[in-house]
Structure 1
Amino acid sequence: MASSVCSPRHSLFLSSSTKSPLRDCPVRFPACNAFHSRRRLVSATRLKVSASSPAPAVDHSPSRAASRAPTVVEVDLGNRSYPIYIGSGLLDQPELLQRHIHGKRVIVVTNTTVAPLYLDKTVSALTDGNPNVSVESVILPDGEQFKNMENLMRIFDKSIESRLDRRCTFVALGGGVIGDMCGYAAASYLRGVNFIQIPTTVMAQVDSSVGGKTGINHPLGKNMIGAFYQPQCVLVDTDTLNTLPDRELASGLAEVIKYGLIRDAEFFEWQEKNMPSLLARDPSAFAYAIKRSCENKAEVVSLDEKESGLRATLNLGHTFGHAIETGVGYGQWLHGEAVAAGTVMAVDMSHHLGWIDDLLAQRVGNILKEAKLPNAPPKTMTVKMFKSIMAVDKKVADGRLRLILLKGPLGNCVFTGDYDKKALDETLNAFCKS
């Protein structure tokens, strides 16, 4: 069987520290040098989406106060292209959001943790100098366990009660759970309305807010109900990370690490050198990590929006990780924690298959440990639980479980169902009880 190849919650206090079904496909993605001809410099402040752009040392990155002009990464989807604005203090720049508002009605979807911190600031950004715009809000409970149909209906209830029309704009203010639910609501309300993402966690800023994946969980599987629906823009105000708890910050780093492993070796090597700076919340380090992650994802999404093959490689560790989240109960483990453990399992399986060497496997374990992320699934997960949950994973096709595994040197991966099943059994048995 052919395989797809790819190379290249907040707290109220400051923290102390294609269109065809998914299938195997023979798409090649050369390491760190892919499809450069499709990229362009979109303005003086916009950065070319280039997997080989140099990783500066943190000391030489632009200082936080150097400029209020945002970095802009473009997601190239033809007439549905949109910008990702990245920078400090962007919620204090109303023009950025207001240029993407349609009509006069806006609804902000957020949660009980983020609302006291950033809802008023967001409403001001939407209405400052723009008195014709009225803003409603929906404040949902905080946590993965609330990413469900009941809370999705609360968004619809408020929208219908407020008589929002087709020219309204939905704004997601929060982490990945809020972004996914608000986006799915926007995709469904009146069969599709304008949508903006304002991610406030590392996880959402580097991954879930970009690319148009929206949806809710089902008791039998994570993200099983949803739609591909792109936003009008993504606004990443890095100041929102100042109130993010350490555990949430570390969780988001799992997705940052992923990009380096699957397609950007230089970025992974930069992370190995700069992980202490990221954990210390160095603004320059985070500005670069967010930019580089968004560039990587934007490029993949522009080439494979509906996940027919290449985009699936962005799910390294997610098949095992989603099984962990479902098995232990949504919200018990943060998404990035589960993905980190899942990445270790995917790397272990890649090693059993002989597809990567000892050194790469050790480097993955080391960087996840340094990022204060789990290196194994919870002890309550059994082999039987993993197999049962993974059997309904979205990447199963014709009864075959396809996985994203590392193959070759750093920065290379495959998406395939063509592997020795004994290797999967060996990995599951190494990490779990029967």
Structure 2
Amino acid sequence: MGMTDAAIDFKQAVNHRKGKNLLGAYYPASTIVIDTECLQTLSDRHILNGIAEALKHALAQSRSMTEMIVTPLRETNLACLRDPEYLDMVCRTCIDHKVPTLIYYTQSNFNEMVPQYGHAIAHALEHLSFHCGDSVKPLLHGEAVAIGMCVSAEVAFILGICDEQTVSEHYEFISDSGLPTFVPRNMTLKDIMAKLRYDKHYVKKPAMGLLSKIGFMYSKDGDYAQTIPHEVTLKALSANIERRDAAPFSYAPPESELPISDIVNVVMASNAEELTNHAESVFEDGNLLDEWRAVSVDSSEFNARKENIYWRLWAMKGNH
């Protein structure tokens, strides 16, 4: 996250109990050092957290950048997250697209709305996910942004700014990157709408940057910030939730006699042998079982990917 977003900006902020990024200062870094080898100590989930911010710039500024990020993730089933060359490409390409928004686009609010794409919704979802009790698992910032971009695409479609293909591509690119696309279950529309009021761009109504198509930020009379009526925001959130409830999971494990709590305990086991012993009884899907066996061959690899495996299972069970 720091390599693709947080460090490359004029501001630093901290969260407040009322909302995200409400306290902070403007103090740009004089030097930023990026070493993607350091990312090898992170879980896949935390690397994807940063990928989400790079994907934000890609969706808003460049279709080719979007494909450069997503295609390797799709083709390697996320294995490229362990490839320093891929991560270096993501960081460099993100910097190439983000830095101009900090330097050159001073005649409009393009430089503000591109980095904030998806964030109006994301900040509300992220903050709420930490205050909904055990019914909602906390979202990392990039995960919330991924969902926020999907909802933003729904907003653009409702307003006639983009077509259905652009909305579908949002869901496809983001889900193929291993990131969530749907508002978490057990998070109410009422709570989301109330939390939106604490976004820094909220003035009586949410203000969002929206895309006319992949790689193009929409503007009206030179203004890239669109004021969104409450009923449109509600309709967009509802459309996202309807997709969530209708969508089959990428991997749908069959009904198991084991309750979800037992399955989670297996996934979070501290050794690969326990996972291997239980995998066949939990997953009858051949491809999924082969993948999990491959991960469990080496204990060190399993331990490194344990958190990511847990979250993928949680998403498959419809609780993410």
**TM-score bin, normalised by smaller chain:** 0.5 to 0.7
SS of 2:210's equivalent in the other structure is strand
Q: Does 1:302 align with 2:103?
A: yes
SS of the equivalent of 1:215 reads: strand
Residue 150 of structure 2 contacts residue 240 of structure 2 at CA under 8 Å; is this kept in 1? no
CA distance in 1, matches of 2:147, 2:29: 30
Q: How does 1:264-275 map to 2 (within 5 A)?
A: 264-275=62-73
Residue 291 of structure 1 is matched in structure 2 by 92
Which segments of 5 or more consecutive residues in structure 1 lack a partner in the other structure? Answer: 1-202
1:108-142 deviation per Cα after TM superposition (whole angstroms, max 9, x unaligned):
xxxxxxxxxxxxxxxxxxxxxxxxxxxxxxxxxxx
Partner Cα separation in structure 2 for residue 418 and residue 338 of structure 1: 21
Shift of 1:423: 2.5
Question: Paired residue for 1:318?
Answer: 119
Conservation of the 8 A alpha-carbon contact between 1:304 and 1:311: no
CA distance in 2, matches of 1:213, 1:249: 22
Distance 2:170 2:177 in 1: 11
Structure 1 residue aligned with 2:250: none
Cα deviation for residue 242 of structure 1 reads: 1.1
The answer to whether residue 146 in structure 2 is matched with residue 340 in structure 1 is yes
Structure 2 residue 166 is the aligned partner of structure 1 residue 360: yes
- Residue 20 of structure 2 contacts residue 127 of structure 2 at CA under 8 Å; is this kept in 1? yes
What amino acid maps onto 2:9 in structure 1?
A: G
Q: Which residue of 1 aligns with 2:252?
A: none
Task: Give secondary structure in 1 for the equivalent of 2:209.
Answer: strand
- In the aligned structure 1, how far is the partner of 2:83 from the partner of 2:152? 30
Q: By percentage of residues, which structure has more helix?
A: 2
What amino acid is the match of 2:210?
L
- Distance verdict in 2 for CA 1:279–1:337, change over 3 Å: farther
8 Å Cα contact 2:19-2:199 kept in structure 1: yes
State whether residues 122 and 144 of structure 2, in contact with CA within 8 Å, keep that contact through their aligned partners in structure 1. Answer: yes
User: Which one of the candidate residues 235, 242, 248 is aligned to 1:426?
Assistant: 235
Preserved contact between residue 345 and residue 427 of structure 1 (Cα < 8 Å):
yes
Residue 328 of structure 1 pairs with residue 129 of structure 2: yes
What is the total number of aligned residue pairs between the two structures? Answer: 229
Change (3 A) 1:328 1:400: same
Q: Which residue of 2 aligns with 1:254?
A: 52
Q: Structure 2: which amino acid aligns with 1:303?
A: Y
Counterparts of 1:313 and 1:295, CA distance in 2: 14
Compute the displacement of 1:424 (Å). Answer: 1.7
Residue 424 of structure 1 aligns with an amino acid whose one-letter code is T
Label 1:357 to 1:430 Cα distance change in 2 as closer, same or farther (>3 A): closer
**Aligned ranges for residues 215-234 of structure 1 at < 5 Å?**
215-234=13-32
Structure 1 distance, partners of 2:37, 2:160, is 43
Distance 2:206 2:164 in 1: 25
**Alignment deviations for residues 342-395 of structure 1 (CA, whole Å, 9 cap, x no partner):** 111111111222222222222221121121111111112211111111112101
CA contact (8 A) 1:250 1:279 kept: no
**More strand per residue:** 1
The correspondence for 2:177, drawn from 365, 371, 375, is: 371
Alignment TM-score, normalising by the size of structure 2: 0.66
1:350 corresponds to 2:156: yes
Q: How far apart are the structure 1 equivalents of 2:210 and 2:188?
A: 21
**Identity of aligned pairs, percent?**
25
Distance 2:139 2:200 in 1: 20
Which digits, 9 at most, give the CA deviation of each residue in 1:314-364, with x for residues without a partner? Answer: 111111111011112179211111111111111111122222222222222
State the AA in 2 paired with 1:411: G
The offset of 1:311, in angstroms, is 2.0
* CA drift at 1:221: 0.6
Q: Report how far residue 279 of structure 1 moved.
A: 4.1
2:246 corresponding residue in structure 1:
none
Give SS of 1:236's match. Answer: coil
Task: Tell me if the contact between 2:9 and 2:102 (Cα under 8 Å) persists in the aligned partners.
Answer: yes
1:396 equivalent in structure 2: 202
Q: CA deviation at 1:428?
A: 2.2
Deviation at 1:220, TM superposition (A): 0.5
Q: Deviations over 1:57-111 (max 9, x none)?
A: xxxxxxxxxxxxxxxxxxxxxxxxxxxxxxxxxxxxxxxxxxxxxxxxxxxxxxx
- 1:240 equivalent to 2:49? Answer no
Q: Tell me, what secondary structure is at the counterpart of 2:14? A: strand
Secondary structure at the aligned position of 2:50 is classed as helix
User: What aligned pairs does 1:27-176 form with structure 2 within 5 A after superposition?
Assistant: none
TM-score relative to the length of structure 1: 0.49
Q: Distance in 2 between matches of 1:339 and 1:250?
A: 11
Partner in structure 2 of residue 410 of structure 1: 214
The one-letter code matched in structure 1 to 2:191 is M
- The answer for the alignment partner of 2:5 in structure 1 is 207
Q: Check whether the contact 2:205–2:230 (CA below 8 A) recurs between aligned residues.
A: no
**What is the one-letter code of the residue matched to 1:217?**
N
Q: CA deviation at 1:308?
A: 5.3
Instruction: Give the CA deviation at 1:309.
Output: 5.2
- In 1: Cα distance, 2:169 partner to 2:13 partner: 34
Deviation at 1:432, TM superposition (A): 5.3
Q: Is the alpha carbon distance of 1:326 and 1:286 closer, same or farther for their aligned partners in structure 2, counting shifts above 3 Å?
A: same
What residue is the counterpart of 2:316 in the other structure? none
* Cα distance between partner residues in 2 of 1:389 and 1:422: 15
Partner-residue secondary structure (3-state), 1:230? coil
Using the TM superposition, give the Cα deviation of residue 396 of structure 1 relative to its aligned residue in structure 2, in angstroms. Answer: 1.6
